[in-house]
Amino acid sequence: MIEKVNMYHPDKVADRIAGALVDLAYSKQENPKIAVEVLLGHGLCNLIVETSVELKEDEVDKIVKRIAGKNIRINLVEVPQDVFLANNQKDEIKCGDNGIFKGVPLTEEDKKLSKIARDITAKYPSDGKYILADGILTICQSNAKNEDLRKDYPDAIINPLGEWSGGSDVDAGATNRKLGSDMASSVTGGGLMGKDLSKADVAVNIYAFLKAQKENRIIEMHCSIGDKEVNGIPYKEIVEVARKYIEEKGGFEKFAEWGLY
């Protein structure tokens, strides 16, 4: 049983904005420290940004309007990173979070739904949510005719409440609210989006997920803030694995579109 939402779902729009701001921070500093929270809906985007590098209001405005729409109002709160957290990372890359993490191999069901979601989104680039449970596919796709969807997916449950418009004028969105869609069965306590690579929620989650796919087994890891090693692995090495993965995805914004699968 698995759920996937596409990049136009309001929660993923929030994740994409957060990711784009992290990309912006990395364009200004080699190893920035940043955490972004986004709440948007009904014409308003609220952002709280804790950051070691200044993001100019006009830069933020341009990113938000590119992703969420040019008419959206923006409420930005930008503050420096907490001094104690900043000192933790002052001399070297050390673990920036407490947490437990789990990587789980993707199932064939996970892979199948991920492909279905991408295929539908390529045809209908608007808010969509998809569920595959007990072999039954449910498609909730905005701005699409039910009869058109039924031609491609004759056995699916399609838009149970009828055709709909979707988007942030229908539903609000927030960062890291679609953990299952981003992580499949690898969900633990921390979300992947809107944070720099020093944060274990990003780096250790990615590392554990990749290791689980490679070794085809469940990987469990845990850490405390300030750790130089996680499960005997140098934290700097974990960060570099995650950095390479994000770069291959095309950056944090692109990573936010679909998450880990």
pLDDT confidence of residue 8: 98
pLDDT confidence of residue 15: 98
In percent, how much of the chain has pLDDT > 90? 92
Reduce the secondary structure of the chain to three states and give it as a string: CEEEECCCCHHHHHHHHHHHHHHHHHHHCCCCCEEEEEEEECCEEEEEEEECCCCCHHHHHHHHHHHHCCCCEEEEEEEECCHHHHHHCCCCCCCCCCEEEEECCCCHHHHHHHHHHHHHHHHCCCCEEEEEECCEEEEEECCCCHHHHHHHCCCCEECCCCCCCCCCCCCCEECCCCHHHHHHHHCCCCCCCCECCCCHHHHHHHHHHHHHHHHCCCEEEEECCCCCEECCEEHHHHHHHHHHHHHHHCCHHHHHHHCCC
Q: Provide the token pair at 158.
A: 């399609």
Which CATH number goes with the domain that contains 24? 3.30.300.10
- Tens of pLDDT, residue by residue over 174-200, are 999 999 999 999 998 889 999 999 999
State the average pLDDT for the chain: 96
Does some domain include residue 137? Answer: yes
Angle between the N-to-C axes of helices 200-215 and 235-249, in degrees from 0 to 180, rounded to the nearest 10:
80
At residue 85 the predicted structure's pLDDT band, cuts being 50, 70 and 90, is confident
- Tens of pLDDT, residue by residue over 58-72, are 999 999 999 999 999
Among residues 117, 139, 168, the one where a domain terminates is: 168
Judge if 157 and 186 occupy the same domain.
Answer: no
pLDDT confidence of residue 86: 80
39-72: b (≥16 Cβ within 10 Å) or e: bbbeeebbbbbbbbbebeeeebeebbeebbeeeb
At residue 90 the predicted structure's pLDDT band, cuts being 50, 70 and 90, is confident
Does some domain include residue 93? Answer: no
pLDDT confidence of residue 92: 84
Does some domain include residue 94? Answer: no
* pTM (predicted TM-score): 0.96
Distance CA 50, CA 47 (A): 10
Does some domain include residue 261? Answer: no
Q: What does the pLDDT average to over 48-67?
A: 97
Highest mean pLDDT among 78-82, 108-112, 185-189: 108-112
pLDDT confidence of residue 89: 80
Among residues 132, 147, 168, the one where a domain terminates is: 168
- Tens of pLDDT, residue by residue over 212-227, are 999 999 999 999 999 9
Domain housing 115: 2-6+107-168
Judge if 199 and 251 occupy the same domain.
Answer: yes
pLDDT confidence of residue 88: 79
